[in-house]
Structure 1
């Protein structure tokens, strides 16, 4: 692990709105300018860094969700507020999605759980300060989906590109159902009880109603996906994984019957956006 005295991560430039790092802190953040995100209301592009956030009191708290799965909760930070997950296994740990912040205390907390063998951001909005997390753990590989590699704006030694399917450590599998962005990825592993667990990023989002999930091109801007895209996502997951529990990247979760929730929710979504239920929306 890189020593605190030589850590480069605290100076990583990042957008002060979405939190994604960059080598070129000028102009407009391309992640925020895309239709899935949004620019600052006043039109001013601002930049930040973990060091600046630390000076304002930012911190990361690790909390166990279930045996072998931890969440990283950041407070006082920039970014969209994603909740990264750490899958802890006896064959190596995998960070799924990346906080927009890092500090020495967080590095020590992850180290105490066995460190980090690999990082898998589900899509560009979750890149956070991925080069910093990689550097903090001996340039751990950061596996970026090939369709989304063009969104990477900071090169670093641990950067890797993948397509199709990936097993960053034995027993932890990733694949790319797409949808929210072309390379949107999900990560699957087996919990301590043997049940299938899916980390779905923004590909599939849990919603307040029990047993339902959602699929969107843009969550903040409420842009839906088509019937075909949603059915493709559901079929992709069903063909590869048995899923009892699902955790998305914003504290959403389905703790039982998640595979059925994905299938039924996808069909419901597809039928609504296809116009099948337009007679329930008012005069036709």
Structure 2
């Protein structure tokens, strides 16, 4: 491989500068390695296999970016447009010329940010496609970066990266697990891009707080309450999480009540129902 070549874990979709025996991100209690062993792929292999990217409007100035078929975890990445530049949130594990052109038509990318290491995708490739824009990685999670580049910049606490878009780190799933608050979303009522730091449940009336979603490992009640208190400092009516997860109204209230429910079950308040 030359300096510009790299490997992509087929299970999580995260770029690696080298090909170890196993992807460290997957060989962890929050993720998984396939029963038939570690598998690797490349952008060329994915393109040859027919992988494409859809860019679909979710609401004004917010777009889903989805690989088809899904690459790795298959996150629905988000592009948020502002007059000062665009945020690419939870970048996909794939990029091609058509996707680059589609995003360029929407104003390009000013920052690339993943909510946590499972969502790193091919973040450096997305940066390079738009002139080497900053890839912001939570300082607490820098050790999970498997491909380095000068575009990577650590961050922590609360950072307003674009007017009306603030990154913040409630932690939980990973110590640096982050969300992005978009104040202008939903006619000014606010949107929270939550990755799976806060996971929108299929009932669309509750959220979950998990250390591992695929391995069904919950966080403690105390951490769930801490995360809820942290994110509800911001005003938001809608919440987008991993893949198509969506709370389409009253999301801030739902986060608070879901954390209280989580904590109550963890304490044993409802053991009589079991």
TM-score w.r.t. the length of structure 1 is 0.93
Q: Does 2:268 match 1:275?
A: yes
More displaced stretch, 206-215 vs 266-275: 206-215
Distance in 1 of aligned mates of 2:66 and 2:192:
19
Distance in 1 of aligned mates of 2:259 and 2:20:
40
Q: Does 2:141 match 1:140?
A: no
Measured after TM superposition, the shift of residue 26 of structure 1 is 2.0
Distance in 2 of aligned mates of 1:36 and 1:110:
31
Q: Does 2:216 match 1:211?
A: no
More displaced stretch, 210-219 vs 110-119: 210-219
Q: Does 2:102 match 1:106?
A: no
Distance in 2 of aligned mates of 1:54 and 1:89:
31
Partner of 2:76: 83
Distance in 1 of aligned mates of 2:212 and 2:242:
14
- Gapped regions of structure 2 (runs ≥ 5): none
The secondary structure found in structure 2 opposite 1:30 is: coil
Measured after TM superposition, the shift of residue 171 of structure 1 is 1.4
The secondary structure found in structure 2 opposite 1:266 is: helix
Indicate if the aligned counterparts of 1:195 and 1:243 stay in contact, CA closer than 8 A: yes
Cα shift readout 1:70-108 (whole Å, capped 9, x = no counterpart): 000111343011110000111100001010110000000
Distance in 2 of aligned mates of 1:114 and 1:205:
29
Q: In the TM superposition, what are the counterparts of 1:5-44 in structure 2 within 5 Å? A: 11-42=5-36, 44=37
Distance in 1 of aligned mates of 2:271 and 2:3:
51
Measured after TM superposition, the shift of residue 12 of structure 1 is 3.2
Instruction: Give the superposed CA RMSD.
Output: 1.4
Within the candidate set 59, 65, 73, 1:66 is matched to 59
Measured after TM superposition, the shift of residue 10 of structure 1 is 8.8
Within the candidate set 207, 228, 232, 1:234 is matched to 228
Partner of 2:176: 183
Within the candidate set 243, 265, 269, 1:250 is matched to 243
Partner of 1:4: none
Distance in 2 of aligned mates of 1:270 and 1:149:
30
Indicate if the aligned counterparts of 2:78 and 2:88 stay in contact, CA closer than 8 A: yes
- Gapped regions of structure 1 (runs ≥ 5): 1-7
Cα shift readout 1:44-86 (whole Å, capped 9, x = no counterpart): 2221111110000000000000001000011134301111000
Measured after TM superposition, the shift of residue 209 of structure 1 is 1.6
Distance in 1 of aligned mates of 2:217 and 2:31:
11
Distance in 2 of aligned mates of 1:180 and 1:200:
11
Measured after TM superposition, the shift of residue 11 of structure 1 is 4.1
Cα shift readout 1:101-124 (whole Å, capped 9, x = no counterpart): 100000000000000000110000
Within the candidate set 112, 122, 127, 2:115 is matched to 122
Indicate if the aligned counterparts of 2:5 and 2:17 stay in contact, CA closer than 8 A: no
Q: In the TM superposition, what are the counterparts of 1:158-173 in structure 2 within 5 Å? A: 158-173=151-166
Measured after TM superposition, the shift of residue 40 of structure 1 is 1.1
Measured after TM superposition, the shift of residue 18 of structure 1 is 1.0
Cα shift readout 1:235-264 (whole Å, capped 9, x = no counterpart): 00122x011011112111011100000000
Partner of 1:155: 148
TM-score w.r.t. the length of structure 2 is 0.96
More displaced stretch, 32-41 vs 184-193: 184-193
